[in-house]
Structure 1
Amino acid sequence: MKYLDVYESWKSDPEGFWMEAAQAIDWEEAPSKALFDRGDHMYEWFADARVNTCYNAVDRHVERGRGDQAAIIYDSPITGTKREITFHELRDRVAGLAGALRANGVGKGDRVIIYMPMVPEALEAMLACARLGAIHSVVFGGFAANELAVRIDDATPRAIIAASCGLEPARVVHYKPLLDEALELAKHEPEFCVIFQREQEIAQLTEGRDHDWHGFRYGTEPAECVPVEGNHPAYILYTSGTTGQPKGVVRPTAGHLIALNWTMKNIYNVDPGEVFWAASDVGWVVGHSYICYGPLIHGNTTIVFEGKPIGTPDAGTFWRVIQEHKVNSFFTAPTAFRAVKREDPRAECLEKYDLSSLRAIFLAGERADPDTIQWLTENTGTPVYDHWWQTETGYTIAGNPVGIEPLPVKVGSPTVAMPGYDVHILDDGGEEVPAGTLGAIAVKLPLPPGTLPTLWNAEERFKESYLTTFPGYYETGDAGMKDSDGYLWIMARTDDVINVAGHRLSTGAMEEVLAAHPDVAECAVIGVADDLKGQLPLGLVCLSKGVERSHETICEECVQLVREKIGPVGAFKLCAVVQRLPKTRSGKILRSTIAKIADGVDFKTPATIDDPAILDEIRVSLAALAARKTATHGVVASDPDSALT
């Protein structure tokens, strides 16, 4: 079948489509039907089924004779460690940990917070919770104590599983002191903590509360898999909220199993037994969906990578891992490859490695600029596919269904909507806009299986955040357009669409132009307040390694490029070179924070920021930009329309 055939088969019979996909899952009790309409635009999938996630991700592969296949490959260039864990070994390790948790009172419905670095034990902790029907909530290792405390109070966990430390290329991140401080700050008190002691740092345990990982497991009976209802929460994953209070995205068990299993072949085009690598972290949704659950449910080997795209030890680390472990399909964020490209613009590190096992590279998490995609395609000789999804959805909204039919790539577009997603581009009044017109991206309800049915203990907030702006639709918060072929173009977050003298403009389109400049490795465009035009675009650019040309000249060229490609209507005149951009730990550029700094608005440093010190660097750069703007009466770089400023 072709993509359109598959998509139309879903659209004409959603119930039949998903019930057929459900046959790939092993059920304790199979679902009687797919969709349950709870009223008021609230839906659940496969609610009357009974199933266990851990059984489908681990045990069934052992029972079917594939226990000796590698389930996890652990590769840590920071510690120099490489090892494999087979499905048989993984089952025994997970069952043992689950048994110890059960012996200490953890059972179905209890919450367990996991605060771990990129080590196999993090996946074991997730799977052990799933084995018992406990609901895990992974918090990114190294998160600030106050933010961890907020999540403890919201999830009210019975237990916390943590590591003594995490490792960065040049430092040890002390997890245990952060955990201790968070427990002091939190109102809720977990019954116990389990600490995985790493050799790089042995943490001091609190008597009566803390247990050593290895001692904790000793002498308890392994636990069997506990079947749960199809609508039982598999996990809670917190995502940033506009109020400062994080939103606990709930992932339902049955839909999660079915949807992720479907994507592994139909989107990522891997067969059971092949090696799939998502270079992310278990603290983010990609780590949940495509380091832990998706590959293992489908019977793939997954890679747990403790390293960085550069600096561990160089810009060739991705290529080394792909060659050594014979990776077939690779998924990471565009920002990772922008870092590689900036460090090694001529791809000289790539020349040492053989990528013949690699069939495709997938990008998501941040808008993939065409220049990065073209650089990757030309240097690797491998197809590069952008795709778009969110923490809330858990898997692809729009992508290239390579396992069904590789569609022509339009660089800059994540391609087309996947089955389950009826995507519309709406104006402020909720009306569909013509092809090629910028608008708000919304998905007609119901959302497909595996997407969030609600927020943890916050149903009204769920409705307010996602369902009220466009009744009958899920509001994605992203802005973009569809072309005449039905390809989707994600241009910016809705908040990043700026209004310049009445013209709605996409900052993403301007970023695309700036990224095409030969000296620019990475960039961000934001809207800043302007008395005359309401807003003006401001471009911040990071240069490739080795560029020594005048920053003023590069900024002038950037202004001219935007004028040529976007037109004078964009009023792009403000441009500055910066050493680096503030990002979350998952690689998203903190554009709204930059805008608040530029406008002199008070803000709270985002909990997800990778390095808060970058904000001071941005302040200095913007202050220098403002001084130059004042000195030139509003013109930072040469501007034919300077009389307008």
Structure 2
Amino acid sequence: MIDDTGTNTAPAQTGRYRDVWRRSIDEREDFWLDAARAVDWVRPPSAALTQRSPTDYRWFADGALNTSYNALDRHVLAGRGNHTALIYDSAMTGSRVRLSYSDLLERVARFAGVLRAAGVGRGDRVIVYLPMIPEAVVAMLACARLGAVHSVVFGGFSASELAVRIDDARPAVLVTASGGLEPGKTVEYLPLVQKALELSAGSVHTVIVRDRPAIPGSAADYAGPAAAAGVRWLDWAHAEDGAVPAGPVTVAGDDPLYILYTSGTTGNPKGIIRDNGGHAVALTWSMRNIYDIGPDDVFWAASDVGWVVGHSYIVYAPLLAGATTVLYEGKPIGTPDAGAFWRVVQDYRVTVLFTAPTAIRAIRRVDPELAELARYDVTSLTALFLAGERLDPETFHWANDGLHCPVVDHWWQTETGWAICANPRGIQELPTKPGSTAVPVPGYDIAILDAEGQPVTKPGKDGNIAIRLPLPPGGLLGIWGGEDRFASAYLSAFPGYYATGDSGHLDADGYLYVMGRTDDVINVAGHRLSTGSLEEVLTRHPAIAECAVLGVHDPVKGQRAAGFVTLKAGAVVDHDLLMAELVNLVREHIGPVAAFRDVTILDRLPKTRSGKILRKTIRQIVDGEPYKVPPTIEDPAVLDALTRAVHPRAPAHLPD
């Protein structure tokens, strides 16, 4: 039920979940102080929450701790040093490495010594520009060990985008590798780093390079006369040889742990700041209560350390919980086939797999009958968690029926750092509703608001999804370099609330349905339509693998809905007949008011490297507007193919 203030008063009316959620709202401070006892503090916090201004909330501000110590040292000191902390599996090179907690602690402490010798201390920033190799985890934890602030930039980002982030974060040290590996190609990082240093204002004084076999480039190639002015280039291995291991540095609970720039940032970047104390408490709590993961479990977040999922659930949360984390360098398909994920699950007896719906849709497209799954034993898998894109019901049923384990669609953002809504398996496994991200996670007080900020009290009616302040621990501390930017971006639209930028609705049982970004609601001749609802209909067709629906310009109706679809592998259909069937599906399930008639069949949809479909760029191409190739795009050539599909006479080049 939803009361007249818009509060979700009845998420899952009965049971343990309901009691836990209610306490997290009504007894917020006691709830999170209890949760904080799962973290080792140098100085335990006396209060959970401190409010410094109407919009500035701090968690565990008077506490003191070290996040790296909590992720590593305490487990070794508890006698679990020989337990596996990190499994590295590279489908690109065939490398497989296991690091125990003692092994990882030794490597992190030694590299922290390298950073300390380079002048890095508490509060200093370090850019981490690395591929999916163990050194990425080592570098992040080494920064945390020193109380430094890491900012991970996705390996392979362009020099100009890297330079923008350097100028915003003002790091003293940049950690990188000779390059990264993608299916069929090698990406050399060092020329990009050199160019970024030339473009930036000059805060970086040291670059540390990890050589990778078979990838050209080393620190020696850029040292001496070739170096940018005032920049010292160091070889990682040589620097480690003489390094003195560093111990953990105590920081305040609200000291920054990292800066993470939101995907697609250009021009004036938006760096999300995460704190140490709230982050450690929230992620530790989430592992047991959301994912039902403990010290003897293997957790695999099939993401990248450059994104928030990689930060939270490859690096920090599993190690804070004393579990084993998997670091995978590869793709869901093509490295070598659509059985890649199932092979990793089998080989390491993965307990929980967490990935994006787009990865599962990619597998479904290539292997719709799950023939590859039959080759592997995945009985260790207790749940598949999905986030990052909306999970359509058809993909849910395909995965749920094929894997024979719970499939959990949960919703969160870079800004929140962990789940806003989920089926909390560690508290109470609730009934699943395909299309819904389930119920609010304890700590999150969700409301549906109309455009004027008034509560939408009718179950099932769409509105703006907002979270009543304060956000629980683990949420963003602010935006790097500007408190005003934080307030204007997230807090000004609906006073007293954090505006998620997503639209959706709550049903009568308190389950949330996230239908898309607020700018994905289209207006067709005065009728507001959710693109998520339209996509849900299109994926019902048995030939469709993936789809995106967006509003494009229409001179009469203002906007009209246009669909872009890809086909499952092996699907043989007449394109004209398919388009007619899709139009009829929309008329049947949505109605003629949708005025849906435009369908474009593509080989691939343009996506970011994290799997999000580039809807804004698609719309700009269709409407003939100028667009910039997003720095996060997985394959820029897909945009050229899209341009030719919708504008057959367009020139075969991408705009600058």
Question: TM-score under structure 2 normalisation?
Answer: 0.94
2:207 equivalent to 1:207:
no
Q: Secondary structure at the match of 1:474?
A: strand
Q: Which residue of 1 aligns with 2:229?
A: none
2:649 equivalent to 1:590:
no
Structure 1 counterpart of 2:182, one-letter code: E
Distance 1:533 1:467, change over 3 A: same
Q: Select the residue among 280, 291, 311 that pairs with 1:257.
A: 280
CA distance in 2, matches of 1:95, 1:116: 19
Q: Which residue of 2 aligns with 1:38?
A: 52
Q: Secondary structure at the match of 2:475?
A: coil
Q: Select the residue among 479, 484, 496 that pairs with 2:503.
A: 479
CA distance in 1, matches of 2:131, 2:40: 31
Structure 1 counterpart of 2:328, one-letter code: F
CA distance in 2, matches of 1:65, 1:161: 32
Q: Which residue of 2 aligns with 1:555?
A: 579
2:53 equivalent to 1:29:
no
Alignment of 1:274-423 (within 5 A): 274-423=297-446
C-alpha contact (below 8 Å) 1:388/1:397 kept by paired residues: yes
Q: Secondary structure at the match of 2:242?
A: coil
What are the Cα deviations for residues 32-89 of structure 1, in whole angstroms up to 9, with x where unaligned?
A: 1011101132111111111000000001000000000010000111101111000000
Indicate the percent of aligned positions where both proteins have the same amino acid.
56
CA distance in 1, matches of 2:185, 2:627: 28
Q: Which residue of 2 aligns with 1:636?
A: none
What are the Cα deviations for residues 476-532 of structure 1, in whole angstroms up to 9, with x where unaligned?
A: 000101111110000010111101111111001111111111000000001001111
Structure 2 counterpart of 1:561, one-letter code: L
Which runs of 5 or more structure 2 residues have no equivalent in the other structure? Answer: 1-14, 225-231, 651-656
Q: Which residue of 2 aligns with 1:189?
A: 203
CA distance in 1, matches of 2:300, 2:176: 24
- For this pair of structures, how many residues does the alignment match? 626
C-alpha contact (below 8 Å) 1:539/1:574 kept by paired residues: yes
Name the stretch that deviates more: 175-184 or 292-301.
175-184
The structural deviation recorded for 1:7 is 0.3
Alignment of 1:566-585 (within 5 A): 566-585=590-609
Q: Secondary structure at the match of 2:326?
A: strand
Q: Secondary structure at the match of 2:314?
A: helix
Q: Select the residue among 644, 648, 652 that pairs with 1:620.
A: 644
C-alpha contact (below 8 Å) 1:240/1:246 kept by paired residues: no
2:132 equivalent to 1:118:
yes
Q: Which residue of 1 aligns with 2:69?
A: 55
2:543 equivalent to 1:519:
yes
The structural deviation recorded for 1:6 is 0.3
Name the stretch that deviates more: 198-207 or 552-561.
198-207
CA distance in 2, matches of 1:144, 1:358: 37
The structural deviation recorded for 1:591 is 0.4
2:194 equivalent to 1:180:
yes
The structural deviation recorded for 1:548 is 2.0
Q: Secondary structure at the match of 2:310?
A: helix
The structural deviation recorded for 1:625 is 11
2:517 equivalent to 1:493:
yes
Alignment of 1:235-250 (within 5 A): 235-240=258-263, 244-250=267-273
Choose between structure 1 and 2 for higher RCO, CA contacts under 8 A separated by at least 6 residues.
2
C-alpha contact (below 8 Å) 1:425/1:438 kept by paired residues: yes
C-alpha contact (below 8 Å) 2:264/2:630 kept by paired residues: no
2:580 equivalent to 1:537:
no
C-alpha contact (below 8 Å) 1:26/1:51 kept by paired residues: yes
What are the Cα deviations for residues 310-348 of structure 1, in whole angstroms up to 9, with x where unaligned?
A: 001000010000011000011000000100000001100
What are the Cα deviations for residues 513-555 of structure 1, in whole angstroms up to 9, with x where unaligned?
A: 1111100000000100111111100000000111121111111
Distance 1:137 1:604, change over 3 A: same
Q: Which residue of 2 aligns with 1:640?
A: none
What are the Cα deviations for residues 197-218 of structure 1, in whole angstroms up to 9, with x where unaligned?
A: 0002141422251111100111
Q: Secondary structure at the match of 1:24?
A: coil
Q: Secondary structure at the match of 2:620?
A: helix
The structural deviation recorded for 1:624 is 4.7
Output the aligned Cα RMSD. Answer: 1.2
CA distance in 2, matches of 1:324, 1:407: 30
Runs of 4+ in 1 over 3 A off after TM superposition: 240-244
C-alpha contact (below 8 Å) 2:318/2:325 kept by paired residues: yes
2:468 equivalent to 1:444:
yes
C-alpha contact (below 8 Å) 2:264/2:631 kept by paired residues: no
Q: Select the residue among 21, 33, 53 that pairs with 1:7.
A: 21
CA distance in 1, matches of 2:197, 2:203: 7
CA distance in 1, matches of 2:54, 2:264: 23
What are the Cα deviations for residues 603-644 of structure 1, in whole angstroms up to 9, with x where unaligned?
A: 222111111111111111112599xxxxxxxxxxxxxxxxxx
Q: Select the residue among 65, 69, 92 that pairs with 2:79.
A: 65
CA distance in 1, matches of 2:548, 2:648: 17
Q: Select the residue among 168, 173, 181 that pairs with 1:159.
A: 173
C-alpha contact (below 8 Å) 2:161/2:266 kept by paired residues: no
Structure 2 counterpart of 1:32, one-letter code: S
Question: TM-score under structure 1 normalisation?
Answer: 0.96
